[in-house]
Amino acid sequence: MKTMRILVFGFALAASLVTSTVLAAVDSAFFASRVESGDIQGVDERLPDVPSIVELGGESSPGQHGGDLRLLMGKSKDIRLLVVYGYARLVGFDRDFELVPDILESYEAREGREFTLHLRPGHRWSDGHPFTSEDFRYFWEDVANDEDLSPFGPPRVLLVDGKAPIVEFPDERTIRYTWHKPNPNFLTALAGAGRPGELVGLVAEQLTFQ
């Protein structure tokens, strides 16, 4: 059986709002009927334990739920570009174009060749399943290094001089990538426009087969 799960990115895809001045989650009216019927949990239960908090400044102000998004797209399949406009990544660029955690709670870089990623506690997929390092392990061991599913091997950005990293999963919220030499493109690739984190197997829509 094929099922689809969507990652809840803190406030982004949960359709909630958390700011530095209004420390409360505001659910979207779009989900009201589903929450009332019990089909999905309330927004407070859908958020991670440590959600992303947006620091508003200058002329910025909280947005409003609803409305129309008008885009010029040539083909119906171009709807996939919506994930680009949403801009939710493991790490992302802030207003000063500095790399900061986004979906991740934090990360550490050492010598430009070792990167330790820390997931947010309580983060879940849309079906309520925990979002943990197991999702990364599944991609790395069962997809990227499976000759039938990935005949050309792992994504190129995960290779340095043609060599793959050592990937470790110390606990359910930690993933570590270690190369023999620096990989200066790793974090910027994760923050680039595209499907969220597809370079390490974290995608907005994860298909699972049972």
Q: What is the CATH number of the domain that holds 104?
A: 3.90.76.10
Give percent of the chain above pLDDT 70.
76
Predicted confidence at residue 199, as pLDDT, reads 59
Comparing 38 with 208, the larger pLDDT belongs to 38
Parent domain of 122? 2-57+76-209
| Domain contains 71 | no
Average pLDDT, the chain: 79
Q: What is the mean pLDDT of residues 20-27?
A: 63
Does residue 205 surpass a pLDDT of 50? no
| Domain contains 68 | no
Q: What is the mean pLDDT of residues 176-184?
A: 96
Residues 130 and 5: their CA atoms lie apart, in Å, by 11
Predicted confidence at residue 85, as pLDDT, reads 67
Closest by CA to 121, choosing from 19, 191, 47, is 47
Residues 200 and 154: their CA atoms lie apart, in Å, by 9
HSE of 128, CA atoms in CB hemisphere, 13 A: 6
- Please tell me the total count of domains within the chain: 1
HSE of 25, CA atoms in CB hemisphere, 13 A: 19
Pair 114, 141: CB distance under 8 Å: no
pLDDT tens figures, 143-161 = 999 999 999 999 888 999 9
